[in-house]
Structures are given as C-alpha cells and as structure tokens.
Structure 1
Amino acid sequence: MKKIYNYIAALGTVLLLSACDSDLEKVTYNSTEAVPAALEEIKTPCVLDNKKSDEVAMILNWIAPEIIYSGGYSAAVTNYIEMDVAQNNFANKMILSAATITDVSKSFTHGELNTNILKLLKDAYGMDVENDPETFVARNFEFRIQSSISTEATPVYSNVITVNITPYSMDIAYPEVYVIGNYSSWKWDTAQSLFSFKENEDYEGVIDFGDKSQGFKITGDKNWDNGNYGASGDAVIEDEAAEITLINDGGSKDLSCYSAYRFYRFTFNTSTLVLKKNLGFNQLGIVGTAVGSWDNDVVMEFDAEKQRFYADVTLTEGEMKFRLDGAWNTSFGSSTEGLLDSGDNIKVPAGNYRVYVNLNNSANQTYELNAEDYNK
C-alpha cells in the first residue's frame, strides 16, 4: 500500500477581537467579581480513530461566564478553548477554538482533535510525531476556557478538566485501488490511486493525468485478477460524465471520456461500481497578500508519489487562499488552521515555507506550511 502523508501542521482557530482605544478606555470590569465559565467533567477516555475522522469524538459543555461591566459600555465576550498536556499549567497552551458568550458547547471530530494533539506534541514538546511510537499512547490533556472582552482586558479562566486521549498516526497506509492507463504507460508502478479513508467500499483521490488522460481503467490490485473495472461494451458515455456505472470484467472498455483537464478527483464505490467525477481542473494556485497579489497565482506542483500539491514560497505576513484555474469558481479557505474547510482567508506568518495541499479526501482537505521542507 502507498502511504498518504496527511500530517497537518495545525488546527486551532483564534478569533481576534479589537476595539478602538477610546472605546477600550470606557470599558471596565472587575475580573475578581466575574463568574468564569464552568466546564463539565469528561470521565470517559477518548480513543481517536482515523476511520471516524469526520465524526464527533468529544463534546465540551460549559456554563457561560458572567461578566459585569461599568462605564455604560457593553463589550462582546469571547470564550477561548485552551488545551495542553496535563500538569504543565498551560505553559504550552494551544487555542483550539473561540466561541461567543452565548455558546455553551463545542464538538470536535476525531480528525480535528487528533491533528491538534499532533501539532501540540510536535511544536511545543519536540516529539517526532511521524516516527516516534510514543506519540500514539494514551495521555492526559487538560482543557479550560479563557473568557475575555479584548486583548487589553484581564481574562478570567474556567475550571480545568482532564481528558485521557489516545491519538492516531496521520501517516496511514489506506486501502487503495489503482487508476492505470495511458498516463502511466499502463504500468502499476507509476499508476496513482484512489484511497478508502474510512476503510470501506468508498475510494477517493486526485489523479494527475498530465497530457495523457485518454484511456484508463481501475484495478483492485497491481494485476488484472483482483478487479478489472471499465466501461460496458455497449455503454454510451458522454464526455466529462458526472458518473458512470462500471463493470468488473476482463472485456470492459477503457474509460476515455475524461480529457478536458489535467487533474481529476474521482470517487469509486467497489460495491455499486459507480465512478463519479467530483472535480476537474488544470492547476491549483495560491493567491493573496501573503504571496503579493489576489490576481496572480503561485501555481503549485503535484507530487504524483504522495498525490499532493506543493510549492516553495516566501510569504509575507498577510492572508492567502487556494483556487483552481486562476479563477474564483472554486476556491479553498480555512476557518480551522490546517483544514481547507471554508471560504475564509487564511492568515499566515512571514517566512520561507514549502506549502502542501492535499485534496484527496473531500471530507478532510488539508494544507500545511512547512519551514523545514523549504527548497528541499
């Protein structure tokens, strides 16, 4: 099996609140009289599972804080959810998310929580999260809520709760089927794959056909004996068909209807034999103030072995997004660091980075800024 390197350099979202100096001068409250948020205990250990990456793993519930103001001014309160390894007094805290004063609950999926933990262990504690098996043992993590009206005001903190969590490796050899065709010279060693991220009958991935997209089939192994999926001999297939029902037969025809684009993201179900085209595009680009322009794309390369996009860039502090084919018809932003899960601009620090983007898993599209890999 081929490994898909999906390590994400981070989840965790910080919403920065601001107010003009004149308004901040009007806002006063006594932090010693404020009633902090009260987090509910979680007594059940949490074992994270890559097969459930988009399912809820943990829910934090709390009673909202009470903050009384003076000066005739009412400011919005934001609750910042913080996490650290237990018994470290939050010295290396990570902010997982931010919630308004009216929010009293926050859920985290297996994938979100796992990525946060790996980010924390790597960046704050220097662990080799890709190779050290000690990364993936059960350990205690502490959570608390910081409530604040602005960066200028003294925050108040909730009680601390401890949760025992076992993370999983993001470097997983997922089950795969092989897309073999003209682009790979009909050789399995250079064929790319569709992956079953939930280890079931659903397979998905981005295929780079280059300029040789005419003609391919799907096989269940690196041979013709364990699934030989192609078009029915009497099937009439439209160019760029949204979906096709294949047959598993040595006499099946090559699929030659996808030739308009270089890259395609397909899904294939080995039970129903339905192949779907989810995306078709010719380039993935980076735009934004961080790369100098919202109009001119930094075009990313594609690593066919790891099936992910990359580009070496010098970023200035600013914002960026990813988009297809130099247009805004399809673009990717982030509301959760490390995930391409929204249309929000991505705030980035200045520096030299190799930027990775992985679009194979539509339920868990990711990006990473990796300073160590720059120009390697």
Structure 2
Amino acid sequence: MMRVLSNLTKVAFLLPLIWACGPIDEPPIIPQVPATIASAPSSITLTGEDEDEVVVFTVNPADFGTPMEVTYIIQMDRPGNNFANAADLGSSTSTTVEIKAAEINRRAVSRGILGGETGPMEFRVRAVPSRTLSALVGAAVTINVTTFADAVALRNLFLVGEATARGWNNNDNNPPLFRDPENTDLYVYSGFFNAGGFKVLEVLGAWQPQYGTNDGTSIAVNTGNGSDPDVFNVPAAGYYTFTFDLSTETFSLVPIDNVPATFGTVGIIGSATANGWDASTAMNQLTFDRHIYYINATLSDGEMKFRADNDWAVNWGANTAISGRGTQDGPNIPVEAGTYKIWFNSLDGRYIKIDQ
C-alpha cells in the first residue's frame, strides 16, 4: 500500500511541472511570392523568316523566403484551360528568358491557332527552386499570337463520346486518331468501342471544331459558327476500324474479325529515349482497350522503336517521324528533340507523337 501511495505522490509532483511548460510555439510561416511576367511583347507576330528569331520575356523574381537559385520557365496554354496542357517554352536561371519564335509557333498551332491566323494565348512563369521546395506559378497574362504555316504543325483529332474510353469528357487524356504520314487528311483508329455514339474533336478541352455525321455516310463539322453535327453510331460493343478522311469528307466503321492477344508491356527504346538502346521505357496501357498505349516523354534528337515485353522478338519501326505505321523489324523511327505525348496501337502498329 505504501508503494502505491509513493508512486501517486510522484505523479502529483510532476503534474505541475508538465502544465508549467505551456503550449509549444508553432514554427514561423515563411511567406513565398511567385514569379510574374514583368515585360513581354503586347502581341507576338511570328513569321518564320529567321530561324534564330527569339521572343524575350523578363520576370519579377520569385521569393521562396530564403536565398537560392531559381529556374524560371515560361509556360503557355490556350485561354480557359487552366494550363492543363501547359507547354514549357523556355527557361533561364536569370530573370530574362529568351524563347525561340519557332517554338512558340509550333506550340500555339498545336493548341488551336491555325498557321497564318491570330488568337489569344495565356503565358505564365513557373519558378522551380534549387532546394526541396514546391515550384510556384504566377498569374497568367494573355497575349495575341499570330502564327505562320509550319509543315510540322499538323491537325490532331481526338475521340469523345459514350462509345469511347473517356465518355463525354472532352479533356481527359482522350485517345487520338492516328494520322496517315502521307495523306495528312486521312486518319485511322482500330480498337474497341462501346455501343453508342461518339464524335471527333480537334482541340482537347474545346467542343469546336467538332466532327460527326448528319446522314450516316459523310463527315459534318461545326467549326464554331454553326450547329453541332450528330454522332457517329456504333451498333454493338466490339472492335472496329474507324477510317476518317477529310479530303473526301467520308468515313467508315468496319468490324474487326480477328483480334490478337494483348502484350504484357510495350515500351519505347532507342537513342532518342531516356534509356537509349539498353532498355525500354514502359508505356501506359489504356484500361478501356489494352491494345492502346501512351506515354509523355522528352526525347532527344535520334531514333526510336516500339517493342513488346522488353524483348526484340516483337518490335515495330517505320521511317516517318511524327506519325506512321510500324511493322515488325521495320526501320528506326527518326526523332526530333522535344516533349511529346506518344500513342501506339499494337493492333495495327500505328503511332502518333503530339507536341506537349
């Protein structure tokens, strides 16, 4: 009994000491200020006449609350997209960022401004610290950009609708149609479709230009000034080849009778890829249709191929850079340095690279 009382006495003695410590002070919050665009052209007119032409941006420096080196990246996207498809145009560790005019042109065209036309683009600064802190992004500035015709800047088309992988969401990694490398008005998509309707979009996140059909045989389009067309109709769930030809304004949807098995993995490999020719970089496999693969990749000048299951037994190659149809043991695909969303279809070997 005496031992229990002794322990209680010790506890009673310690309690005042514990309470005397008081509340623990919170660590101070260090304010952080993002970088913003200090000066830039009021409008940007790109001509393509000088391959060394640059557009200069200056930025107000970011403040991370402590001195460190900061890399400033100028980003661009179309208005209203909240930079969901932001293009990194150029960077610098100083507050002056020079961007190649051709780079702005290429990215602006891929975001909906046709060659030779003028449209608004949003620009902002992403400040990346040298220490382990999160990057900061500044407020957007809208600048009108006039583009020039560029042979590399080609129309991309995307699937949307209940018959397709992303339903009616128009900006959710929607699979693209695969563009023919010679007839750039011809697109082909072989894959799985649910029963129901679908349409084709030209710009992710925008409902026009929008393609469909009103008579079941020819292509109809709303470029933004008319009425939306009706859907392309899939009669029953299954595998089909959808051929879409803007040069003749016709389409076809033909069932595929013999569908090959899928692969465990498909990856990119080659001197242009992160692992060189030593190892494949795995692509993501679309759950909706496991013959469709995609990856965001920064590539260097060089070559690449697609291959299955990290082995050369099944591989695809072709001699066209931006889009094409790979064949077994085909030639290495030429690559120009850049950041791309790459899509590949193991059903027919078709691929497409889309500027990011």
Bigger relative contact order, structure 1 or 2 (CA pairs below 8 A, ≥6 apart): 1
Instruction: Report the structure number with the largest CA radius of gyration.
Output: 2
Task: Give the TM bin, normalised by the shorter chain.
Answer: 0.3 to 0.5
If the length of structure 1 is used for normalisation, what is the TM-score?
A: 0.36
If the length of structure 2 is used for normalisation, what is the TM-score?
A: 0.37
